[in-house]
Amino acid sequence: MSTFGKLFRVTTYGESHCKGVGAIVDGVPPGMELTEADIQPQLSRRRPGQSKLTTPRDEKDKVTIMSGTEFGVSLGTPIGIQVPNLDQRPHDYSETDVFPRPSHADYTYLKKYGLKASSGGGRASARETIGRVAAGAIAEKYLRLAHGVEIVAFTSSVGKVNMPFINDLHENDDVKPEFYEFLNTISREQVDQDITRCPHPKTAEDIKELITRKAEEHDSIGGTVTCVIRNCPIGLGEPCFDKLEALLAHAMLSIPATKGFEFGSGFSGTTMSGFQHNDAFITKADGRLGTATNHSGGVQGGISNGENIYFRVAFKPAATISRDQQTTSYDGVSGTLSTRGRHDPSVVPRAVPIVEAMAALVIIDACLQQDAREASMSRLPAINIHHSLQGKAPKK
């Protein structure tokens, strides 16, 4: 389905070689200043051709807001978003008329729909993510203005090159304190200081070297993106099926080329004992209840608890490579597929703004649902409620 969200709803259209791609963003809060200038920066961060590390096609993704604003202010009505397709070049791919590209969507699209786009799995193209990123930029602006939410994603590994204290989460089988501190302060500006979007300079150098080598080998390499959401309101997430982590997982695994999602302690947390893993409550500097550690990743029982939400997303190596591959045609004839297009040796740096966008879409939708609940509760008359429903000791 091409729609995501319940109250803040994004619907997208478009594949690689049609007239354009776009989205309709429904449920945008009215009365917010909004122009193309709020959207373009994230689209530009997503764009290929930002450096020799990413694909050189300069798609010039110029966004137009078609509707839903007047005089630069959101009306609360659907915002139509459009980006034309300029660089179509369908002839790059002609051999794929005969061979389904390995680990691409060509074969599955053909089986699912009975036919496929001439480019292969048209909607499986990274170009489909433009609509998400545009919608995410709108969501992010609202979250920042209304709640002070900050969402920062970054490249945490490429191949086996990992940032320290990230993938190697454990020291004495536990998260390192400097990781928590890092999550508190990392900024999008820091992330963008290097083309790899890895904010640890030494690791960034190693990643660049690795990606360059893969490009020379006409090969590709995967990696992980880690994301933190700061200042997330407490109470987001809709049990039991729409727990906040379930929605984030859904959102992240809907991004092309993803293979996994973990939040908080993640897979490493499975090796810890409950006594060690439990996040004890403490009184924070501002007087509110918080937790001393954050193995929970900011979510407990499917509901945000006010701590930083952090998660990691796995991206496989891009399936499009410029090396010959032994494979089999649609007709069952084995042969060699040679694709010579210009391709990303690693999608990971470009995936960073897409991860941020999808995170923003999840959070704003959860905010609106919790806003409805809190407003509805606030209108009820006060009643006597049993102490054990309120986290209180019985009166003596």
The catalytic residues are 17, 104, 344
Q: How far is CA 351 from CA 45, 89, 114, 354, in A?
A: 9, 23, 30, 5
Rounded CA gap, 55 and 58, in Å? 8
Tokens of 378: 């606030």
For a second copy, the closer of residues 162 and 185 by Cβ is 162
For a second copy, the closer of residues 67 and 185 by Cβ is 67
We find the least distance from the C-beta atom of residue 168 to a second copy, in angstroms, to be: 13
Q: 251, 362 in Cβ contact below 8 A?
A: yes
CA geometry: angle 59, 64, 65, nearest 5 deg: 150
We find the least distance from the C-beta atom of residue 63 to a second copy, in angstroms, to be: 12
For a second copy, the closer of residues 185 and 248 by Cβ is 248
We find the least distance from the C-beta atom of residue 28 to a second copy, in angstroms, to be: 9
Which residues on neighbouring strands pair with residue 312, listed in sequence order? 226, 262
Nearest partner of 258 among 315, 311, 312, judged by Cα: 315
SS3 104: coil
We find the least distance from the C-beta atom of residue 304 to a second copy, in angstroms, to be: 7
For a second copy, the closer of residues 185 and 324 by Cβ is 324
We find the least distance from the C-beta atom of residue 199 to a second copy, in angstroms, to be: 18
Q: Is the peptide bond before 198 cis (omega within 30 degrees of 0)?
A: no
Q: What are phi and psi of 74, to 5 degrees?
A: -70, 140
For a second copy, the closer of residues 95 and 192 by Cβ is 95
Q: What sign has the CA pseudo-torsion 133, 137, 139, 140? A: positive
For a second copy, the closer of residues 185 and 212 by Cβ is 212
Q: 218, 321 in Cβ contact below 8 A?
A: yes
We find the least distance from the C-beta atom of residue 42 to a second copy, in angstroms, to be: 18
For the chain, give the number of residues: 396
Rounded CA gap, 314 and 38, in Å? 28
DSSP β-ladder status, 79-84 and 69-70? unpaired
